[in-house]
Amino acid sequence: MLASWIKSAALGILVALSPLATAGGDASSVPQPVIQKGKGDKCVEDTQVMRREHMERLEHHRDETMRKGIRTTQYSLKNCIDCHATPDESGQRTVLGKDHFCQSCHAYAAVKIDCFECHSSKPEGNAAMHPIVPAQSGPGAQTAASMRHHGLSTPPSLNSSLSVKDIAGALK
């Protein structure tokens, strides 16, 4: 008699708690990150594999490149950035910043990214014309000048007097 009373009480508590439990464990109550994925519709591996294992692939490739000079692109960080970088407010393509590929997910997962303490978060084309390169000389500036000459867009940061409107005008 007593046992059955305990059983029914326990069941009652469980039933009473179950909406709470569901609410606590429901992933939809945690805001999902907005991730800009960048170009292409397919990564170098299945998405599930990349989500779980990208750090191991990158670390392995890092040693191969650094120590042996192996420059395959499949797991190279540069390759990741080339595809996944998306433009920020100034038009600079990057993987860092709110909603951008690397940072949005790492912020959601609360995992610090070390890569960009040394590596550039921007793809090669733009980085070669980075403001650290003196504006008057160097291949970066020459390229940028020749691109401007041909009416192609340059990063606004390259020349502070060049406004976003100017670039929009050049592209028209």
Partner 1 sequence: MNNFEQYRRQFLGGALATAGAALVPGLMLVEVAEGRAPEEPASSNNRWGLLIDTTKCGNGCNECVTACSTENGWEQKGGLQDPQWIRKVELTNNNTGAKHSLPMMCQHCEHPPCVDVCPTGASFKRDDGIVLVDRHICIGCRYCMMACPYKARSLVHEDLHDTQVAHMPRGKGCVESCTMCMHKIDAGENTTACAQACPEQAILFGDLNDANSDIAQRLATYASKEVRADLGLNTGVRYTGI
Residue 108 makes contact with partner 1 by CB under 8 A:
no
Cα–Cα dist 37/125, whole Å: 19
Q: How far is the CB of 16 from partner 1 (least distance, A)?
A: 53
For partner 1, the closer CB: 12 or 151: 151
Cα–Cα dist 151/70, whole Å: 37
Cα–Cα dist 104/1, whole Å: 56
Q: Which of 33, 105, 113, 143 binds partner 1 (CB under 8 A)?
A: 143
Burial of 93 (0-12, 13-18, 19+ CB in 10 A): buried
Residue 134 makes contact with partner 1 by CB under 8 A:
yes
**In this structure, what are the phi and psi dihedrals at residue 86, rounded to the nearest 5 degrees?**
-130, 155
Contact track, partner 1, 67-106, x by CB under 8 A: xxxxxxx----x--x--------------x----------
The site for partner 1 (CB under 8 A) is made up of 62-64, 66-73, 78, 81, 96, 116-125, 127-128, 130-134, 137-140, 143, 146-147, 150, 152-153
